[in-house]
Amino acid sequence: MSAVRVLHVAQPTCGGVGGYVADAAADQAARGFEVVVACPAGPLAERVGDAHVPWAAGRAPSAATVREARALRRIVADVAPDVVHLHSSKAGLAGRLGDGLGRPVLFQPHGWSWLAARGARALAARAWERRAARRTDAIVCVGEGELAQGRACGIDARFELVRNGVDLARFTVADAGRRAAARAALGLDAAVPLALCLGRITRQKGQDVLLRAWPHVRDHRPDALLALVGDGCPPRGTGPGVLTVPAVPDPRAWLVAADVVVLPSRWEGLPLTALEALATGRPLVASDVPGLREVVPPDAGALVPPQDPAALARALADRLAPGSPLAAAEATAAARAARAHDAAATFTALAALTADLAGTARNAQDDARAETPATPAPARAVAPAARAHDAAEPPAEPPVVPPAEPPVVPSAEPSIVPSAVPSAVPSVESPVESPVESPVESPVESSGGRSPVSGGRVGSLPVE
C-alpha cells in the first residue's frame, strides 16, 4: 500500500496551534506519511519548509471566507490527500462549507468556536458546529473537557480523545543552577519573585484579569515581577512590576526562570503551556475551567474561579512568598504529573487515527471499483489532436454555493446560513469586547503549491 498522504490545514499559524501542527507534521513524516501543510505565511510555514502550500486566509471569519473556502478546495484537488486534517475553528469553517471536500475529514477545534462568543453569536456558532459535523469523519478533542463540551452542545459525530502532550526530552525539570543561568541570560535579578504568563494577549487568555489581580500581589510582595510573554496588544496602564515581552520561539528559558506560571484563561482546550510548565517543574495557578482542570492536580498548584482577581492574587502571593514550602512541594508534584502527558503517545494516537481513516476510505474506493462493471472499450478511441492537452488540465472546481436558509433567531436554536457564517461565527480568538483585544490578522495573498514531503523530514525541518 502506498504511503498515507495527509493535508493539514491551519489558521492560526502561531502559538499553541501552530506548534502542534508543526510537531504533528514532523512526527507523521518520520512515520513515512506524505505530509502537506496548507496555511498562511508565518511561523508554521517557516517550520514546515517545503511541505508548505500557501493558503491565504484571515484569522477571523469575514466576507472573504467563501473565497478562502474555494481556494482550499483547489488545494485539496491539487494535493489529492487521503485525509484532510482541519485545525482550529477558521480552518474548520472554510473546509466544511458547501458540500465539503470530498475526502475524509478530521476536525480538531483546539478550543470550541462558541466559547469566544456571546449571545446570538454563541448560539450561531453552536448551531454551525452541529451542522458541520455532518461533513466530518472524526472530531479530535485534545482533552476530556473539550470532548464533554462538544457532546453537551449536541454535536452528533465520532469523537476521538487524543490528549495534548509535551516533549519530555525538551522540557525537563530545572534545578537551581539552570534557573540562575536562565535569569542571567534574560537580564533578570537572581532573587526577584517571578510570575510568568505565557501566551498570546487575548480575552481568552485572561491577562486583563491577571493585571487587575497583580496590584494585590504586590501589596504582599512589593518586589515581585510579572512577565507577560506573548504577541498581541499589551493593555494600557499595566502598572509597576509588569514586564511585557513579545512572543519567543522557545519558551524554555522563561519557564526555567519563573517561580510560578499563571494561566488566568476564560476557556481552554488543553493548553500546551500548562504541560510545558509542569514538565519544567513549575507550580501552576490557573482558572478552574475545562482543559485546565484536568491537568493541574491539587498538589501541583491551585485552581481559582475564572475572572476572580482576588482569588488569583491570593494564590499567587502564597507561592511567591520567600522560601515558600508550598511552591517547593508543588514543583516536585508538577514534574511527576507531566509524565502522564508524553507527546510521543499523543502523536502515535493521532497517526493511528489518520491511517485508520485513510485505510477505510481506500477500502471503500476498492469496493466501489470492484462492484462497477467494466466498460467495453470502443472500436476506436482517438482524441482530436487539438485537444490533446486536456488530460493535463484539472477538472473545474465546483463553486461553494451556500443554500438559502432562515436567519439566526436568538430565541430559538438558530439555523446557520453558511454565507452568513463569516459574520456570525468567531474564530477561537476572534476579537470581542475586551481591554486586551488584539487585532485580526490580514489575509496574506499567495498562490502556488508544493509537493508532499515524506521520509523523515518536513520541508527543511529535521525530525528530532
State whether 311 and 187 are in the same domain: yes
Q: Is residue 382 part of a domain?
A: no
Q: Is residue 245 part of a domain?
A: yes
Residue closest to 12 by CA, chosen among 142, 200, 154, 165: 200
Q: Is residue 386 part of a domain?
A: no
pLDDT of the chain, 464 residues: tens digit per residue: 689 999 999 998 888 899 999 999 999 999 999 999 999 999 999 999 999 999 999 888 888 999 999 999 999 999 999 999 999 999 999 999 988 788 999 999 999 999 988 899 999 999 999 999 999 999 999 999 999 999 999 999 999 999 999 999 999 999 999 999 999 999 999 999 999 999 999 999 999 999 999 999 999 999 999 999 998 877 776 889 999 999 998 999 999 999 999 999 999 999 999 999 999 999 999 999 999 999 999 999 999 999 999 999 999 999 998 888 888 899 999 999 999 999 999 999 999 999 999 987 676 555 555 565 555 444 333 233 332 333 333 333 333 334 333 333 333 333 333 333 433 333 333 333 333 333 333 333 333 344 444 444 344 333 33
Contact 163, 341 (CB under 8 A): yes
* Order of all β-strands in the sheet with 284-287: 242-245, 225-229, 194-198, 260-263, 284-287, 301-304
Instruction: Tell me the CA distances in angstroms from 142 to 20, 126, 350, one per residue in order.
Output: 11, 19, 11
Q: Is residue 83 part of a domain?
A: yes
Q: Is residue 170 part of a domain?
A: no
C-alpha cell at 337: 504529573
Q: Is residue 125 part of a domain?
A: yes
Q: With left for phi above 0 and alpha for psi between -120 and 50, is residue 301 left, alpha or beta? A: left
Q: Give me the sign of the Cα torsion angle 455, 110, 272, 429.
A: positive
Q: Give the chain's length.
A: 464
Q: What is the total count of domains within the chain?
A: 2
State whether 112 and 242 are in the same domain: no
State whether 75 and 215 are in the same domain: no
d(CA 427, CA 410): 19
**Could you tell me the residue range of the domain that residue 59 belongs to?**
5-165+343-366+399-462
Q: With left for phi above 0 and alpha for psi between -120 and 50, is residue 67 left, alpha or beta? A: alpha
State whether 65 and 181 are in the same domain: no
